[in-house]
Structure 1
Amino acid sequence: MNFRTLDLNLLRVFDQVMAEQNLTRAAERLAMTQPAVSNALKRLREALGDELVVRTAFGVKPTPKAEALWPQVRAALDRLREAIDPPEFDPQHTQAGFRLAMADATAATLLPLLTSDLERRGAQVSIRILPLTTRDPRRLLEHGEVDFALGYFPVAVAALSSQGDTARLRHHRLWDDEYVCVMRRNHPLAQAELTLDAFCTAHHLLVSFSGRPHGFVDEALAALNRSRRIVLTVNQFFTAGRVVTQADLLTVLPRRFVPATGMADALVIKPLPIALQGIHVEVLWHQRHDHDPAHRWMRERILDAAAQRAREPVA
């Protein structure tokens, strides 16, 4: 048998004949004539080299090969049917767990709204937040280590956009943001204009998921033949915000994150004296989950919470 030339519609006929054990009833279920069902079975017999069914006084009886083949055909048709017309997910009566990878800034901005929505719906779902140690989560999603990755992933999103319909990962914009310089209210620069010279002269706290001692701010400064003095590197935005309330350090945070820290009253926000690209927070997932009802339901909840957050005014 050459599978590439096999008419897969014949498998639908075979499935119904096996289920009904009667050509007439199978034809009715398929909205076909009995001669058309008989002809389809004949073609499948020729392709598989087996009689598949033999006539009896009450209908048809499957051959051993047909008995062995049918569970595989039924399972494949069920998977295809679910992909095309998936069943609804009932979050109030079905338990499901999801792994979301995101930085603490994204979590603090999104999770209050998301969890409030889930509780209001009475959803029997659990969410596990995994830390991000990279700005390129494609490997995590490809290997199935997480269900969603949320954050600012410029390299990954650019690569996926260039691949178009061939990309195995999906992405959707959640909200836009910008980086700002943050310091404590009694910092020597708090009441002055933050010039490039002042910015480079000051001591800095760097947020680095990977632990590298430089980031995109340093790359932008290098393009201007400038540099800054980094005296502390941490892997969480919240830690950075907490530290700068107690020390004369500058740090760079997403603007929308600052109110979520609960420390906004102790901090001063200033525009950066260098040009940086805006932050485009995205959610990424693997295409293998496109038609999974539970996964699709959670995607809708994430998008709804993000849309609500995006409508809120930026401090």
Structure 2
Amino acid sequence: MNFRTLDLNLLRVFDQVMAERNLTRAAQRLAMTQPAVSNALRRLREAIGDELVVRTASGVRPTPRAEALWPHVRAALDELRAALDPSAFDPRQNAATFRLAMADATAATLLPHLISAIEREQALTNLRVLPLTTRDPRALLERNEADFAVGYFPDAVAALSHEGHGAPLHHERLWDDEYVCVMRKDHPLAKRVLTLDEFCAAHHLLVSFSGRAHGFVDQALAALNRTRRVVLTVNQFFTAGRVVTQSDLLTVLPRQFVPATGFEGELVTRPLPLSLQGVHVEVLWHQRHDRHPAYRWMLQQVREAAARRREAALRPARA
């Protein structure tokens, strides 16, 4: 490829197609026709020597070469936009797409407040929520596969705090929570204070993004020379709530996530018979976005949505 003759406008088209994974939506965001977007992709394919995207029933799927190229293209475009006009972003005039990696319960409690703010401001902002498959999203952010990660990431936050100001990623606490034991309302253990012996003898469901049947509860039990049997692991809090309502399994969830299961009325919570550290929900992002006004605006929306979420969580207690 001869970079000197490459039309750099093709990279803008490529970036939007990768963000939308749909040629029609990308054309709308770019104020172009779909044939013009298709033609731009064809020219870029010829220049790079790769198909870049493959058509699917719902849009397009990127090739491995496109996945590897996109973080560099997006970072370069962000740097250029910020350098040309650091204050140019207007959410009502400039369309932007942001990718947020978070678990389903985090999304269920945060997104209503976030969408409300976006609609109230009449912002041309699109959100793409990516599923979390790990408790450590640093690699996801460093590879530019997500713009923000929101959740409980104790190992990642501890490592970033140790690195200090030299860390490539930033983090900020959004809210705190505590873990509770969750079971169906008519569970045999639901009518009394749960003892450690009863907790260990019961069968358990574990929400595990990795699929491993061993988590922080098991680590805390091991410190007490105790164990439990994890019968089932799932990777969604909604699924956990559904299964627990229809079985004798116990699960351990952040207290404020119980409503997000969709089955709060069929569940009860009980204090855990062992000590666990609190849940600290954080937002993580890469420093490459710090100078870009669009990302700064989006981060502020996340902060404000988290503040409204905290207020909403306190209302029942005040009543």
* TM-score category, normalised to shorter length: 0.7 to 0.9
Give matches, 1:140-289, under 5 Å: 140-289=140-289
Q: 1:175, 1:310 within 8 Å by CA — same for their partners in 2?
A: yes
Distance 2:268 2:81 in 1: 56
Aligned-pair identity (%) = 70
Deviation at 1:307, TM superposition (A): 1.0
Aligned positions of 1:87-166 closer than 5 A: 87-166=87-166
Q: C-alpha distance in 2, partners of 1:218/1:166? A: 33
SS at match of 2:248: coil
In structure 1, C-alpha distance between the alignment counterparts of 2:127 and 2:275, rounded to whole Å: 36
Where 2:225 maps in the other structure, the secondary structure is coil
Partners of 2:103 and 2:131 within 8 A in 1: yes
Q: CA-to-partner distance for each residue in 1:41-95, whole Å, 9 max, x for gaps?
A: xxxxxxxxxxxxxxxxxxxxxxxxxxxxxxxxxxx9xx69945971141111211
Query: For the structure 1 residues 195 and 83, does the alpha-carbon distance in structure 2 shift closer, same or farther, using more than 3 Å as the test?
Result: farther
In the aligned structure 1, how far is the partner of 2:82 from the partner of 2:112? 33
Deviates more, 1:80-89 or 1:142-151: 80-89
The residue type equivalent to 1:103 in the other structure is A
Which 5+ residue runs of structure 1 have no aligned equivalent? 1-75
| Matched residue type, 2:228 | R
In structure 2, distance between residues paired with 1:233 and 1:259: 20
SS in 1 for 2:115: helix
Matching of residues 43-54 of structure 1 within 5 Å: none
The alignment yields a C-alpha RMSD, in angstroms, of: 2.0
Quick check: 2:238–2:260 contact (8 Å CA) kept in 1?
Answer: no
Number of residue-to-residue matches in the alignment: 239
Q: Is the 8 A contact 1:179 1:253 kept in 2?
A: yes
Asked whether the 8 Å contact 1:182–1:250 carries over to 2, the reply is: yes
Q: Distance in 2 between matches of 1:81 and 1:285?
A: 19
**Separation in 1, partners of 2:169, 2:226:** 37
Cα separation, partners in 2 of 1:278 and 1:206, compared to 1, 3 Å: same
Distance 2:118 2:239 in 1: 28
Residue in structure 2 matched with residue 30 of structure 1 by the alignment: none
Task: Quote the offset at 1:210 in angstroms.
Answer: 0.3
TM-score, normalising length: structure 2:
0.72
Q: Where do 4+ consecutive residues of structure 1 move more than 3 Å?
A: 79-85
Instruction: Please say which structure displays the higher CA radius of gyration.
Output: 1
Give the corresponding residue for 2:297: 297
> How far 1:164 sits from its partner (Å)?
1.2
TM-aligned CA deviation for residue 192 of structure 1: 1.3
1:73 maps to: none
2: CA distance, partners of 1:217 / 1:143 = 31
Q: Mind listing any 5+ residue stretches in structure 2 that lack a counterpart?
A: 1-75
- State the alpha-carbon separation in 2 of the partners of residues 259 and 101 from structure 1: 20
Q: Deviations over 1:96-138 (max 9, x none)?
A: 1011000111111101111111111111111111111111111
Measured in 2, the distance between the counterparts of 1:136 and 1:254 equals 18
Does the 8 A contact of 1:105 with 1:254 survive in 2? no
Secondary structure in 2 matching 1:170 = strand
CA distance in 1, matches of 2:84, 2:151: 30
The answer on whether the counterparts of 2:105 and 2:257 sit within 8 Å (CA) in structure 1 is yes
* Structure 1 pair 81–240 and aligned structure 2 pair: CA distance change class (3 A): closer
TM-score by length of structure 1 reads 0.73
Deviation at 1:260, TM superposition (A): 2.7
SS in 2 for 1:256: helix
Q: Is the 8 A contact 2:82 2:293 kept in 1?
A: no
Task: Decide whether the 8 Å contact of 1:99 with 1:128 is kept in 2.
Answer: yes
Cα pair distance change 1:294/1:188, threshold 3 Å: same
